[in-house]
Every structure is written in C-alpha cells, then in structure tokens.
Structure 1
C-alpha cells in the first residue's frame, strides 16, 4: 500500500506529464480506485468518516477535482 505522500507524488507526475488528457484521465481514475481499495473509502461518505480521514479525503478530492468530478 502506498502512503498518501507517494500517491500525491504519482498524481503530480501524471498531471505534469506530456500524456494526452484521455490517458491522464485513465491513470487518475486508476489512482482513485487504488485509494478506494487501500484506504477503504466507502461508496457513501458520511461526515464522521470524513472527519476521521481528513487527509485521505483531501487527496481523493484533489484527484477527483482534476478529473472534473
């Protein structure tokens, strides 16, 4: 399992790469799925889960925002 710092580094590498936008989108989607699996992000995110996992949610939202979600 990657740390949040490692995931953020991968994110930065993806968005700064010369890949076309469709490939970036696919790689970011894969990164989000990895986070969902490894950090047990639920399908429905309740306030108490968000409060307990603020750093996870911040990075997850950062990736989602870049994807336009």
Structure 2
C-alpha cells in the first residue's frame, strides 16, 4: 500500500489524534480521582448527597426501603 503524496498528512493526523486521545483520557482520569477525593472528604465531614437524604426521608415516612 502506497500512501504517496498524502503520507505526511495522514501520519500527522494519526499522531495528533493519538496525542489528543491520550490527553483527554489522562484529564478524565485525573479529574475522576479529584472528584472521588472531594466526595470522600465531604462524606467524612458529614455532608451527604441530597439523594441519600431523600431516600432516608422516604424510608422514615413510608417505613419501606427503596430496594426492589
């Protein structure tokens, strides 16, 4: 398979795409770890999620659990 005149363009495009994907994956990974640390810190401080409060309030009112 000959790439002929487009060889440089095609290879540069693949390289740029690969670098961009690595950067995005790294960014998402680092951000995820940061959010997990923040959630752990908030949980240790006694701050709960709104959905957890709503579920606990529903159980108190109805006497039922939300587990199916």
TM range (shorter): 0.3 to 0.5
**TM-score, normalised on structure 2?**
0.34
Greater percentage in helix:
2
**TM-score, normalised on structure 1?**
0.33
Relative contact order (alpha carbons < 8 A, sep ≥ 6): 1 or 2 greater?
1
